[in-house]
Structure 1
Amino acid sequence: MNKPFPCLVLGLALAATASAAPQALDLPPPAPTSATPAPVTAPAIPATPAALDPAQLRALRSRYAAWQALPEPERARIREAARAVAALPPAQQQTLRQRFAEQDQRFRDGWLLGPQLGQLFPKLQGLFGYLPAEQREPALAILRQLSSDQLAQLSLVAQRTPPQERDQVRSQFLALAPGARDAWLKQNVGH
């Protein structure tokens, strides 16, 4: 599969640093010039929870919960990606951080789901971006069971499903037995 390496590494590394690291990476910003925009840096995380406002504390807890929910192989991939980003020259790290920060918030939030789902989340969002609370965890568990090919097919289904049919299509898919998913995906991709 052809993967956009810088985006993948950056998304994984930023997800790792935002949700698993106790403090932000200290990256020296490039020397400002009149042609250089202000640097985008990782926000510093205060040493004590009392220093956070309630919204920051909720966001930090949410990111940590997302990290804890990832399977260990996904966390290992994220740690490796974070090491790869940390090995880059500071200017290149800053460029990647800035490119990531310029992305839509929904795109950035998708990476909290881990490398496999994070890469496809913009395409899956139509079906799985706005789930009722009771469907969220079961849906994530099912999505994490899918192969790369199944996720690619499901992303096509998600993109082709009109908004008024999304709830029905999602419910059908989530109700399937694991052995029936391939046939359902092939049938629905063919439409």
Structure 2
Amino acid sequence: MSFVSPRLPCLLLAALLPAFAAMATPDRNVIPVQAAGVSPLPSGPAVPQWRQLSPAQKRERRMQYAAWRAMGEGERQRVRTAAARFQALPADRQQSLREQFNAQDQAFRDGWRLGPLLGEHFSRLQGMFGFVPAEQREATLAVLRQLNPAQVSQLTLVAQRTPPQERDAVRTEFLAVAPAQRDAWLARQVGH
């Protein structure tokens, strides 16, 4: 990823997740605002019904809604704020940001579905947390969503410093640490 500005992560989030704000109280008959990577939909009275969507579009909408529901209220508010900032930009700037976002790797784009905090750091966490066995995914996400920004920053260092052959073991060890002990564990791993 080429870093363009300090505001880019927030704006990229807005480019990916504007539909989430509309999904807070979804209308089952109306399709939410377009998300990045999804073909443009007409607005107003011509908005297609759910049954008119292709299976791929329905899958995308379900994933967006599940991601929205999985976020805490604080994360949702950050998304709403980012979406409002994004909507306030000129149309050409919005399009430019969508294009920048869509040019990124799919794993990077999918990382933003985890919310603003994890999304911003996911490219650095991906080596350790991007390929978790299916039976561990829910528990892993639950732990990651409990972390504060300082803990996520430290965890990114741990993930980046851990050799590939040790990632599974370090991830398993981290997930087994009690919440009250996470700061101490992270400090030891980072070397503070």
Which TM class, normalised by the smaller chain length? Answer: 0.7 to 0.9
CA–CA distance in structure 2, aligned partners of residues 84 and 42 of structure 1: 20
Distance 2:137 2:37 in 1: 31
Partners of 1:54 and 1:41 lie apart in 2 by: 15
CA RMSD of aligned residues (A): 2.4
Q: Which amino acid aligns with 2:16?
A: L
TM-score (norm 1): 0.82
Percent sequence identity is 52
Equivalent position amino acid for 2:102 in 1: A
> Comparing 43-52 with 73-82, which one deviates more in the overlay?
43-52
The equivalent of 2:56 in structure 1 is: 55
Runs of 4+ in 1 over 4 A off after TM superposition: 18-21
**SS of structure 1 residue aligned to 2:75:** helix
Q: Which residue of 1 aligns with 2:9?
A: 7
**Cα offsets for 1:16-46 (capped at 9, x unmatched):** 32685533359xxxxxxxxxxxxx8752357
For the pair 1:153 / 2:162, whether they are aligned, the reply is no
In the alignment, structure 2 segments of 5+ residues that lack a partner are: 24-30, 42-46
> AA paired with 1:24?
V
TM score, norm. by length of structure 2: 0.82
Query: How far apart in 2 are the matches of 1:41 and 1:145?
Result: 29
With over 3 angstroms needed to count, the CA separation of the structure-2 counterparts of 1:118 and 1:20, relative to structure 1, is farther
C-alpha distance in structure 2 between counterparts of 1:111 and 1:64, whole Å: 13
Partner Cα distance (2:113, 2:119) in 1 = 7
Q: CA deviation at 1:159?
A: 0.9
Structure with more relative contact order (C-alpha pairs < 8 Å, separation 6 or more): 1
2: distance between equivalents of 1:60 and 1:91? 25
SS at match of 1:73: helix
Alpha-carbon deviation of 1:131? 1.2
Paired letter, 1:187: R
Conservation of the 8 A alpha-carbon contact between 2:15 and 2:101 = no
Deviates more, 1:139-148 or 1:121-130: 139-148
Equivalent residues of 1:23, 1:44 under 8 A apart: no
- Contact conserved, 1:153 with 1:185, CA < 8 A, in 2? yes
Q: Is the 8 A contact 2:21 2:83 kept in 1?
A: no
CA distance in 2, matches of 1:114, 1:186: 24
1:95-142 CA-partner distances (Å, limit 9, x unpaired): 111111111111111110000110000001111111122221221121
Deviation for aligned residue 1:170: 0.6
Contact 1:20–1:67 (Cα < 8 Å) also in 2: no
Q: Alpha carbons of 1:150 and 1:161: their partners in 2 closer, same or farther (altered >3 Å)?
A: same
Q: CA deviation at 1:145?
A: 1.5
1:121-140 correspondence to structure 2 within 5 Å: 121-140=122-141
2:33 counterpart of 1:24: yes
Match of 2:174 in 1: 173
Separation in 2, partners of 1:163, 1:62: 29
C-alpha displacement at 1:61, in angstroms?
0.8
Tell me if structure 1 keeps the 8 A contact 2:140–2:175.
yes
Quote the Cα distance in structure 2 between the aligned partners of 1:41 and 1:116.
21
Which letter maps to 1:166?
R
